[in-house]
Amino acid sequence: MKKTSKWFALMLATTMCVSLLTGCGGATDTSTTAEGGTKTEVAENAQDNNDSQTQDTGVNEAAATDTGYVVPDEPVTIKFLHKGPEPEGWAAVYEKYLEMTKDTLNIELDVTWVEHADYKEKLNLEITSGSDWDMVFDASWVQLKNLAPEGYYADLSKYFNNPTEYPGLAKAFSEDTMEANKWFGQMCYIPLYETYGNGIPVIWYRADWAKDWGIGNNGKINSFEEMEAYWQAALDAGYVAYSATQARGFFQLKSIRGEAYPGSAEAGLQMYSAGGLTIWTYTKDNKLVAYAVEGSGDEAFKDFPEGWNYDFGARRYDTFAEWQKAGYIDPDSLSTTDAGISFSSGLSASYVGTLDDYLGVKNYETDLGEGAVGYFVYVDEIRNKEKGAIPTNFAGNNGLAIPATSDKIEYTMRFLDWLFGSQEAHDLFQLGLEGVDFKYGDENGTYETLTTYSSDFGGYGWTWNPNYALISTAYDGEALAYRQYELDASSFIGLPILGFNFDTTDVDLNTAIAQCKAVTDKVATIKLHGITTDADGHSYDTMSEMLKVNVDEAMQNGGQEIVDAFVKQLTDFLATK
């Protein structure tokens, strides 16, 4: 690792002992809830109830644990709003849980399973109406950005970094991890992830075709130059070179998921998005040195460090435009919803994804032939498995939150302490019953599924944690090595700014964001496909030209207000470091 912050060094020391690693009140809110009274009052009353709940419930003094938890005489039920349908086999898993914990927890679970498509709207309605919930799934892409700053979620800081009373939580969530997942100054979000990244980025392609066409090392592609040669050969042979969905296009090629570039974190660079604008920041010694909006031209980046003092993000889209002109992308990409269908049916030569897709894509070989599928890890540093190659902010893309109105916070946290306290507890919920739903593999840290329970359950919504991440036995050879690399904490480097979240709940700012997004939406999708004609029908000679015109218009329609608010919040945040 070339350079890490002191923060990351501390986190690395904490996490490296694991052999295989795979919010929130803002200002006081006095608006009225559906239950009457203010949200602040409801939260305070709930906390009073929580502090005295062991007296109200009835307890067995003889059953007190070493952590100070007193097992209640009668079962306590906590209500969980879960994203996703109930998996087949859950009843047996739940019975096993009750059997394991009757004498040590005596906590029952009332889980409401919500279909994925309905969850976002239902969560907002349930929480803002003051409904009775003790735990919910949430994330920045669900409702966290809206609910956290309004004080709907409880501050959980006292439950973490407390190994005496909550050893399971202390084991699974380091102090640094939780600091990085604060929302607006409070620890109201419990991050769920198995790895600090978002999957090893790859292009899936036909290795048998590459071999037949003499491209790569015996069909193994190891550079974009070879991939372009492969795409051209596919076109010449009458195939679609690269299939893409309407939402993705060329997606995050030529970058690390579009959020970073090799070396950008070490240089002090970090990206934020709002209103469709991509704002790049350059910080040094916890001070904001410079900032610029991607697509606004080289001059805007003149104060960035050497090697980065140009509009580097726009260059990626220029490449996409070149690929579009070359005919590499599916002509129907703007209307395609599933790129994998074209690939699996033998009509296209490649599509983008991550190594997480390995099991599903390898199944295509049933029809395509053994050894037909290959993958190109398109970030050189990741392909070479370099240490510190993957920038991360350690923020959980998925997580759990506890409504501030819950009067069973203590019991909910005791349950989570148990869940994250051992491999056995974690595996029961995430993988199901050993010998029925899964079995452990011969190689340490691996498992084999026997039913669909684990895929149906969706551990990302409840159980994911780096301490307990296992790898499917279906991964072998190089793919297994990449998975092990991805689950190793030393593969990551902390981004310069950790724990900052842009609060966009201000009404005027929200209006500016909507106005700005109406402009940026004109190019948001087409730029991913390399198309240089915007939604108004204006065509441009280059992608950079189109982006510059669009950014200029966006800045005049709410964009400047967004950038000004962002810079102020970030500057204030950095001043506390």
Distance in angstroms (rounded) separating the CA atoms of residues 100 and 110: 17
Domain annotation covers residue 1: no
Chosen domain end from 377, 401, 424: 424
Distance in angstroms (rounded) separating the CA atoms of residues 387 and 2: 8
Best CA proximity match to 24, nearest among 156, 138, 151, 180: 151
Amino acid of residue 344: S
Question: What pLDDT was estimated at residue 516?
Answer: 98
Q: Do 237 and 276 have their domain in common?
A: yes
Residue 21 has pLDDT above 70, yes or no: no
Q: Do 110 and 247 have their domain in common?
A: no
Distance in angstroms (rounded) separating the CA atoms of residues 424 and 432: 10
Domain annotation covers residue 282: yes
The enclosing domain of 407 has a CATH number of 3.40.190.10
* Cβ contact 561:568 at 8 Å: no
Distance in angstroms (rounded) separating the CA atoms of residues 73 and 164: 23
Question: What pLDDT was estimated at residue 61?
Answer: 38
* DSSP codes of every residue in 186-216: B---EEE-SSSSS--EEEEEEHHHHHHTT-T
Q: How many CB atoms lie within 10 A of CB 355?
A: 21
Q: Do 217 and 271 have their domain in common?
A: yes
Distance in angstroms (rounded) separating the CA atoms of residues 489 and 389: 11
Q: Which two tokens stand for residue 38?
A: 């203010």
Residue 564 has pLDDT above 60, yes or no: yes
Domain annotation covers residue 476: no
Burial of 306 (0-12, 13-18, 19+ CB in 10 A): exposed
Question: What pLDDT was estimated at residue 189?
Answer: 97
pTM: 0.83
Domain annotation covers residue 361: yes
Domain annotation covers residue 32: no
Q: Where are the alpha helices (DSSP H) in 237-364?
A: 312-326, 339-344, 358-362
The pairing of strands 107-114 and 76-83 is parallel
Best CA proximity match to 111, nearest among 128, 130, 97, 129: 97
Residue 41 has pLDDT above 60, yes or no: no
- Residues 488-501 have pLDDT tens digits of 999 999 999 999 99
3-state secondary structure of 311: coil
- Residues 165-192 have pLDDT tens digits of 999 999 999 998 999 999 988 999 999 9
Question: What pLDDT was estimated at residue 65?
Answer: 59
Across the chain, mean pLDDT equals 89
C-alpha dist (Å) from residue 145 to 117, 503, 511: 19, 7, 16
Distance in angstroms (rounded) separating the CA atoms of residues 191 and 172: 10
Distance in angstroms (rounded) separating the CA atoms of residues 4 and 468: 25
Q: Where are the alpha helices (DSSP H) in 202-266?
A: 207-212, 224-236
3-state secondary structure of 60: coil
Distance in angstroms (rounded) separating the CA atoms of residues 294 and 259: 12
Q: Which two tokens stand for residue 424?
A: 């056995």
Cβ within 8 Å of residue 369, ≥6 positions away: 208
Q: Do 244 and 290 have their domain in common?
A: yes
Question: What pLDDT was estimated at residue 242?
Answer: 98
The boundaries of the domain holding residue 266 are 201-389
Domain annotation covers residue 444: no
Q: Which residue has the tokens 């409070």?
A: 186
Q: Do 357 and 397 have their domain in common?
A: no
Q: Do 85 and 176 have their domain in common?
A: yes
Amino acid of residue 444: N
Best CA proximity match to 86, nearest among 458, 385, 359: 458
Number of domains in the chain: 3
Residue 54 has pLDDT above 60, yes or no: no
Q: Do 68 and 110 have their domain in common?
A: yes
Domain annotation covers residue 414: yes
The pairing of strands 269-274 and 471-472 is unpaired
Residue 36 dihedral angles phi and psi, to the nearest 5°: 90, 155
Chosen domain end from 338, 373, 389: 389
Question: What pLDDT was estimated at residue 29?
Answer: 33
- Residues 271-321 have pLDDT tens digits of 999 999 999 999 999 999 999 999 999 999 999 999 999 999 999 999 999
Burial letters for 484-511: b for 16+ Cβ neighbours within 10 Å, e otherwise?
bbbbbbbbbbbbbbbbbbbbbeeeebee
Residue 227 has pLDDT above 50, yes or no: yes
- What sign does the CA torsion over 173, 178, 180, 182 have? positive
Helix axes 409-419, 39-51, angle to 10 degrees: 70
Residue 257: band (very low, low, confident or very high) from pLDDT cuts 50, 70, 90: confident
Distance in angstroms (rounded) separating the CA atoms of residues 242 and 258: 19
Q: Do 49 and 97 have their domain in common?
A: yes
* Cβ contact 510:232 at 8 Å: no
Q: Do 117 and 264 have their domain in common?
A: no
Residue 479 dihedral angles phi and psi, to the nearest 5°: -60, -40
Lowest-confidence range among 5-19, 395-409, 441-455, 472-486?
Answer: 5-19
Distance in angstroms (rounded) separating the CA atoms of residues 295 and 318: 11
Q: Which two tokens stand for residue 95?
A: 């019975």
Q: Do 11 and 155 have their domain in common?
A: yes
CA dihedral of residues 482, 486, 491, 493 (deg, nearest 10): 140
Q: Do 167 and 205 have their domain in common?
A: no
Residue 258: band (very low, low, confident or very high) from pLDDT cuts 50, 70, 90: confident
Q: Do 361 and 321 have their domain in common?
A: yes
What is the biggest distance separating any 2 CA atoms in the chain, rounded to whole angstroms?
Answer: 78
Distance in angstroms (rounded) separating the CA atoms of residues 318 and 527: 9
Domain annotation covers residue 523: yes
